[in-house]
């Protein structure tokens, strides 16, 4: 082998120094470059995996929050529908109550009006009786003052009846 090396023009001393330098360079690179570089790469890999784990955790938390919010929104919609339904029922109840109260008030006013009409009719009857009695007294007085025969008495009674009819007529007793 020595002969081949000499034929190629390689000097064994220089080659030994080059190999020793190369091995020294490899040892230095391994000790000072590869070790720290591997540590940095391992740290970076650990950080990336940690970040990926955190991202997965955050994504799962976001999905849970989204489902929770969707459920709360659905529950809020149900509550809103219940509130609207209760409001409509309350409005219908109040409307029915107001209609009932108005009906009662109307019936009360109608009854009060009937009582007023009856009272006015009673007063009118009493007044009519008083006037009829007064007319009867006047007719009697006239009958006594005059000596009347039967024809005259019939005319007086007919006149009295006409006066009564005029007083009880619905147009106020004015006759015509």
Q: What is the pLDDT of residue 74?
A: 92
Q: Annotate 73-92 with DSSP letters as a single string.
A: HHHHHHHHHHHHHHHHHHHH
pLDDT at 175 (0 to 100): 45
Residue tagged 């209609």 (tokens): 99
- State the pLDDT at residue 171: 62
pLDDT value for 146:
62
Assess contact for 156 and 143: CB atoms under 8 A. yes
pLDDT tens, per residue, the chain with 176 residues: 778 877 888 777 888 899 999 999 988 888 888 878 888 889 999 999 999 999 999 999 999 999 999 999 999 999 999 999 999 999 999 999 999 999 999 999 999 999 999 998 888 888 887 787 787 777 777 766 665 567 777 777 788 778 777 777 666 545 44
- Tokens in use for 61? 């938390």
C-alpha pair distances (Å), 144 with each of 45, 132, 139, 162: 145, 18, 8, 21
Domain layout of the chain by residue ranges: 2-145
């Amino acid at each position: 082998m020595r002969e081949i090396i000499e034929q190629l023009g390689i000097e064994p001393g220089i080659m030994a120094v080059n190999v020793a330098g190369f091995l020294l360079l490899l040892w230095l690179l391994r000790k000072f470059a590869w070790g720290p570089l591997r540590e940095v790469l391992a740290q970076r890999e650990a950080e990336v995996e940690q970040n990926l784990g955190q991202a997965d955790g955050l994504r799962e938390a976001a999905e849970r929050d989204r489902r929770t919010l969707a459920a709360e929104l659905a529950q809020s919609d149900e509550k809103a529908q219940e509130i609207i339904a209760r409001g409509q029922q309350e409005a219908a109840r109040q409307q029915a109550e107001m209609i009932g109260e108005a009906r009662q008030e109307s019936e009360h006013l109608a009854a009060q009006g009937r009582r007023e009409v009856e009272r006015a009719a009673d007063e009118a009857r009493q007044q009519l009786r008083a006037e009829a009695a007064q007319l009867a007294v006047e007719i009697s007085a006239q009958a006594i003052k005059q000596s009347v025969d039967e024809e005259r008495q019939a005319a007086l009674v007919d006149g009295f009846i006409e006066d009564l009819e005029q007083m009880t007529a619905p147009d106020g007793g004015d006759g015509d």
